[in-house]
């Protein structure tokens, strides 16, 4: 039915506990799934053997030793036993509602990307999966103590092969922006992108950012994060769950009407950044670039707009 693939941090301390929790939960999904664990981190081989996972120790890395996402996607698609794959972060606990959602989306679409919002929870112990009602206990705990994250936080990407092949940039994992590019790429490839947040409780086990020398700021704002941003092609090639074309409801898949609002907010934020850093002049060139496709259809030339700008600019005031 499904091949899940991931990579992990060293299996020690709290990281080791939550990663084993996540991996174990995946092995309990029905129908049974294939799980591929990439990387040669401490304890990875042992965890794979104990949990019955396929272990792929070799992963290409950049010059700083950070694992590359594109090579894992390429390898996973070559060796997967199933034609539906899912990259998922190794701290996410899944329950049976995940497979139920996959079944429904797959029945509706031959090709697709499925994503969903996560629930953050403080879990510091080894979960007892031997208890028959472990899922209902976990749900109760998360609803009582957890926090549902916004659409910017994306931790699983379930897809049919197609959009993530040879032209995937050499993103590094454990940094930002690659996840937003994956959503954009599916949309750009005309794949339906389904938001399964309403039907899937994906539980993210909270952790620190000790895997990066600069901690959380390094993950979000460091050099490698900036490099991921450049590889993605900048803000135009970044999307979130809010941009999904469809939403999975209890009874059906529905078109997501709020995706247009997400796009409007994204452009407004970018215009705000341009204004803050460069004033009216830079906003003007931003608007010219943004409206180029529409202007071409309407036959509006930039020089005509420049004449209008020269007349209106004194009224707006000049900044920067």
pLDDT in tens, 49-86: 999 999 999 999 999 999 999 999 999 999 999 999 99
Q: Locate CATH 3.90.550 in the chain.
A: 3-255
Whole-angstrom Cα distance, residue 121 to residue 144? 10
**Cβ atoms within 10 Å, residue 285:** 12
Identify which of 258, 260, 275 has the alpha carbon closest to the alpha carbon of residue 319: 275
The confidence score (pLDDT) of residue 316 equals 37
What residue ranges of the chain have pLDDT lower than 50? 280-281, 305, 308-309, 311-320
The confidence score (pLDDT) of residue 298 equals 64
Helix or strand or coil: residue 110? coil
Question: For domain 3-255, is the CATH number 3.90.550?
Answer: yes
| Site of tokens 């309990």 | 28
| Site of tokens 């993605």 | 232
Kindly state the greatest CA–CA separation across the chain. 74
- What is the per-residue pLDDT across 237-261, written as a single tens digit (0 to 9) for each? 999 999 999 999 999 999 999 999 9
The confidence score (pLDDT) of residue 278 equals 55
The predicted model scores a pTM of 0.84
Helix or strand or coil: residue 85? strand
Give the DSSP H or E segment for 73.
Answer: helix 69-79
């Amino acid at each position: 039915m499904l091949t899940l693939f991931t990579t992990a941090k060293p299996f020690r301390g709290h990281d080791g506990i939550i990663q084993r929790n996540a991996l174990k939960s995946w092995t309990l999904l029905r129908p049974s799934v294939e799980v591929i664990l990439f990387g040669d981190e401490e304890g990875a081989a042992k965890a794979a053997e104990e949990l019955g996972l396929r272990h792929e120790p070799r992963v290409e890395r950049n010059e700083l030793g950070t694992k590359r996402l594109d090579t894992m996607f390429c390898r996973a698609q070559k060796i997967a036993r199933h034609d539906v794959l899912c990259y998922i972060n190794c701290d996410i606990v899944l329950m049976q509602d995940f497979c139920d959602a996959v079944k429904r989306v797959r029945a509706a679409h031959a090709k697709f990307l499925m994503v969903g919002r996560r629930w953050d929870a403080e879990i510091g112990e080894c979960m007892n999966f031997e208890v028959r009602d472990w899922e209902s206990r976990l749900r109760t705990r998360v609803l009582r103590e957890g926090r549902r994250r916004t659409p910017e936080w994306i931790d699983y990407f379930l897809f049919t092969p197609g959009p993530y092949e040879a032209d995937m940039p050499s993103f590094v994992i454990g940094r930002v922006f690659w996840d937003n590019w994956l959503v954009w790429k599916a949309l750009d490839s005309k794949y339906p992108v389904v938001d399964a947040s309403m039907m899937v409780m994906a539980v993210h086990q909270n952790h620190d950012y000790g895997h990066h020398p600069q901690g959380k700021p390094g993950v979000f704002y460091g050099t490698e994060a900036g490099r991921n941003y450049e590889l993605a092609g900048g803000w135009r090639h970044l999307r979130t769950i809010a941009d999904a074309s469809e939403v999975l409801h209890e009874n059906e898949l529905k078109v997501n009407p709020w995706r247009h609002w997400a796009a409007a907010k994204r452009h407004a934020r970018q215009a705000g950044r341009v204004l803050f850093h460069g004033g009216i002049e830079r906003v003007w060139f931003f608007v010219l670039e943004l409206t180029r496709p529409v202007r071409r259809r309407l036959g509006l030339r930039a020089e005509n707009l420049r004449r209008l700008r020269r007349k209106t600019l004194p009224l707006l005031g000049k900044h920067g």
